[in-house]
Structure 1
């Protein structure tokens, strides 16, 4: 019997998993007023109408759009499409008041409940995990400079082939995912591997749009983090790597200069430091 591996991952399978997890997350969404819904929906529709008028959209193009929208839903790719092409602007607006560390998009591959780890931690990984070993360390403090004892860092990232556990077959459930608790002075040390750049899934409807528009589908290598502490606003962010060819043209438009790591060479791989600063709640 042939074993299914991460290399058999498909857009439909990962999209279905992302949709299932997103629907669960969104069940307790905000109670938005009819006035707010009306204002937002009216402006979105008005913008669409304006595009149709300015570009003299034909019925053939309109029918192609309808078919594509239907297929996005059938593929379960709405979380992927919206997170790649829309979320960066939502995050920009949501965090414009922050004084502390910069945030960026969550993306479609977050899973709550990753294994709890101490401040000096090694992320769960396979015994033969491929990739360059990476020691990622730093401190969590507030905007006044006080260390945040017991701060929590949820960490997840792709493997050396660009795949995420729980979204590609054959990977251990919590591979390269963990919830780290900082020590009494807010410090943490996390041993993992350097993730790879990857293309977002292209065999589904989002990929069809990318090919039709002549765009590329690449995201630079990155670490995902959610950092929180009592009395502070939590932050969701991603950290990138200097020298990655897609830092300058990330398809998700999520890279910010403040989020680029500059790793040093270490005896057994690489080492990178990043300190998080959280705003008061």
Structure 2
């Protein structure tokens, strides 16, 4: 049964779902307006850099046609969200959060979905009765820069299952499997019971997979928990948390791992799975935000 589910999780299927989710986000984000001068500067410099690459490496027409065919295929496969989030987003995130004093964050990735079930501070994520994997307790506290407790902070969490698949982006999974929006208690603390996610390969049957094969790269991401942590009057943190000992922590295809985001699992006191702890420190909201 598990093998069948993995085989049906195609690049096109997850790509179309990611594209639809992104378009919905754009429709609801009134602030996503591009400044003409910024567009001129960024696009001009991007094209200039591409022109320099062509000249330095003496690009042939055969290579140019192969690139054109690949770009067309990326669109047909609906893999632009995957391509951009895997190979570019980590630098965008680095620039966007460079001035923060609080916790480190990292990329969101293409598999976030708003509107997850709301749960209290001591929570168990929605999951199947026979959810495979190792039980995991993820716990921590949300505070502000300076140490003030952020009571009632929101901790959105989502992650892949033991097959490396995400609900809403792969078939045969319940809609909100391993997804929730948890409200921290009066001390800003939370305890979330779930199943430890597995490392996974990004989809390789589409255009991104062809690029990976052509370049001789691997397609693996280390196992990780996705988080969005927010509180009134403070900047949201988007993060992924990884597990020490995972063989792909050092060579993540998405280049999203930071030392501050690596968890150290310890055995649970009752012998049922592992426990990981990670606290979040939020920066104050910027003026006008």
Same fold (TM over 0.5): yes
Partner of 2:117: 115
**1:18-167 counterparts in 2 under 5 A?**
18-27=18-27, 28=29, 29-167=31-169
Residues in 1 aligned to 2:67 and 2:6: alpha-carbon distance in whole angstroms: 31
Where 2:141 maps in the other structure, the secondary structure is: strand
Of residues 261, 276, 283, the one that matches 1:279 is 283
Alpha carbons 1:6, 1:170 under 8 Å: kept = no
Where 1:47 maps in the other structure, the secondary structure is: helix
Partner of 1:5: 5
Q: What displacement does 1:31 show?
A: 2.0
TM-score by length of 2: 0.95
Partner of 2:178: 176
Partner of 1:221: 223
CA-to-aligned-CA distance 1:124-160 (integer Å, 9 cap, x gap): 0000000000000010000110110000000000000
For these two proteins, the number of residue pairs brought into alignment is 278
CA-to-aligned-CA distance 1:52-94 (integer Å, 9 cap, x gap): 0000000000000000000000000000000000000000000
Q: What displacement does 1:6 show?
A: 4.7
CA-to-aligned-CA distance 1:15-50 (integer Å, 9 cap, x gap): 010011111112335222211110000000000000
Alpha carbons 1:6, 1:171 under 8 Å: kept = no
Residues in 1 aligned to 2:126 and 2:33: alpha-carbon distance in whole angstroms: 38
Q: What displacement does 1:206 show?
A: 0.3
Residues in 1 aligned to 2:72 and 2:181: alpha-carbon distance in whole angstroms: 37
Q: What displacement does 1:5 show?
A: 3.2
Where 1:48 maps in the other structure, the secondary structure is: helix
User: Which is further off, 21-30 or 201-210?
Assistant: 21-30
Please give the root-mean-square deviation of Cα atoms over the aligned residues, in Å: 0.8
Partner of 2:240: 238
Residues in 2 aligned to 1:8 and 1:36: alpha-carbon distance in whole angstroms: 41
Residues in 2 aligned to 1:217 and 1:265: alpha-carbon distance in whole angstroms: 30
Residues in 2 aligned to 1:21 and 1:152: alpha-carbon distance in whole angstroms: 21
Where 1:5 maps in the other structure, the secondary structure is: helix
TM-score by length of 1: 0.98
